[in-house]
Amino acid sequence: MAEKKLWGGRFSESTDAFVEEFTESVSFDKELALYDIAGSIAHARMLGNQEIIPKEDAEKIIKGLEKIREEIKQGKFQWKKELEDVHMNIEKALIEKIGDIGGKLHTGRSRNDQVITAFRLYLKEETNNIINLLRQLKKALLKKAEETVDIVMPAYTHLQRAQPIRLAHYFLAYLEMFNRDEERFKDNLKRIDQMPLGSGALAGVDFPLDREQTAKELGFSTIMRNSLDATASRDAIIEFLANASICMANLSRISEDLIIWNSAEFSFVELPDKLTTGSSIMPQKKNPDVLELIRGKVGRVYGSLMALLTIVKGLPMAYNRDLQEDKEPVFDAVKTLKGSIIGMTKIIEDLKPRKEIMEKSAGGFALATDLANYLVRKGVPFRNAHHIVGQIVGYLTSQNRELESITLEELKKFSPLFEEDALQILDPYFVADARKTYGGTAKERILEQIQFWKQNI
């Protein structure tokens, strides 16, 4: 049986079935149900307090909404597509439950301020959840850094061995990045945490609403100053998606490193069995699927950002139905980002670095810069030193030899300035610890960073 539309008064024909199907949003915006009810309860209470509707009617409405909330929580609520969206489903159920009085709830309110109120409440909560998850990830990185101060490894540029670093330095680098992600979400919260309720359809409301009261009950920090802005703008939400996109980009980079490090060719790390999966055909395989999926899921989040940017482009003031399309991309981005942060945290917690292999790869030609700097310290201009060491590298490579195999006599052939102490440079730990500048990889600097994060995470 077709449901009577709440807005059916001016229509003489019933809605085309295609239109009903095409325009409905309840199949996805029911995700906002509990936030919508919170908004409605606050609104009803305020209507009663302001005597815009009788207090006892407000109480009946609130009781009815609370019952509906229970039904939704228990999965008993019947959602109906004919009723279009989450708001009208709940309002209709309220009227069925408490009779015509339920129809007073929508006094001084429009779905245009209602929907964005629920959406902001949802996003505020989810942003706080994401901030907490990022904290867990940062803690896992800090712990891994503490465990790996005494492991030296080669750092790469162009995916070519560049210079030795302490593995802790690597984890601390990602700690910095995820910390900035967290800061961005916190900053964005200031702009999400603003209440649009009371803006009506677009121009404000001709009943004496008390917006302070509803804001207080709903826990919003501020009230939106301009009703057109409140109902039409989505920039704070786009900003959330931009932040989510940047965070996913950072997650994809660390995923990629760990995927490479986990390969047989690198063998820098071992991923725990419980976080990897097997192949249905190749029995030897232990695949880093969680990392690959984090890397792959970035596309969904960038896609969400692009979707919202495109939806608002050229959109005339104020609310347009286009804005109904703002929800699914955000729901998907929230789910994807939370899952990706959780997955990465588990991986970092259980990751086992292979010290001997990393250490071995940190030596050799990764130490070439340091050999050049040895000559620089003896007065050779850097460019000339670079050239001399380049010749040494060429000489050894042509004989298939590693840098460690060079003798002092051979070094002297390239420059008489090389002395016994030049051989120290063949130790990657010595070389790493020479990089003592602020932010550098020397052990003392790493320990300072760890100290900083212990106090500031």
Residue 388: how many other CB atoms lie within 10 Å: 18
Positions in 136-195 near ligand ARG (CB under 6 A)? none
Asked whether 214 and 198 are in contact (CB, 8 A), the reply is yes
Query: Which residues is 166 bridged to in the sheet?
Result: 152
CB-wise, 324 or 336, nearer to ligand ARG?
324
Selecting among 158, 245, 252, 415, the annotated active-site residue is: 158
- Spatial CA neighbour of 119 closest among 238, 207, 264, 10: 238
Position among 85, 113, 239, 370 found at the interface with ligand ARG (CB under 6 A) = 85
| Site membership for ligand ARG, residue 112 (CB under 6 A) | yes
State the minimum distance, in angstroms, from the CB of residue 301 to ligand ARG.
21
State the minimum distance, in angstroms, from the CB of residue 84 to ligand ARG.
7
Selecting among 27, 279, 387, 405, the annotated active-site residue is: 279
Query: Which of left, alpha, beta for 224 (phi over 0: left; psi -120 to 50: alpha)?
Result: beta
CB-wise, 317 or 408, nearer to ligand ARG?
317
Is 415 labeled as catalytic in the residue annotation? no
CB-wise, 123 or 323, nearer to ligand ARG?
323
Q: How far is CA 327 from the centre of its chain?
A: 17
CB-wise, 23 or 50, nearer to ligand ARG?
23
Rounded Cα–Cα distance for residues 403 and 416 (Å): 18
Rounded Cα–Cα distance for residues 359 and 417 (Å): 28
Stretch that binds ligand ARG, among 111-119, 125-133, 174-182, 287-295 (CB under 6 A): 111-119
User: Within 11-110, where are the H helices?
Assistant: 17-23, 26-29, 33-49, 55-73, 86-98
Asked whether 363 and 404 are in contact (CB, 8 A), the reply is yes
CB-wise, 105 or 115, nearer to ligand ARG?
115
Positions in 273-332 near ligand ARG (CB under 6 A)? 321, 323-324
Rounded Cα–Cα distance for residues 443 and 167 (Å): 11
State the minimum distance, in angstroms, from the CB of residue 328 to ligand ARG.
10
Asked whether 195 and 218 are in contact (CB, 8 A), the reply is yes
Is 361 labeled as catalytic in the residue annotation? no
Position among 65, 93, 115, 385 found at the interface with ligand ARG (CB under 6 A) = 115
Stretch that binds ligand ARG, among 66-74, 110-118, 149-157, 419-427 (CB under 6 A): 110-118
Residues contributing to the site for ligand ARG (CB under 6 A): 25, 29, 85, 111-112, 115, 321, 323-324
Give me the active site residues, please. 158, 279
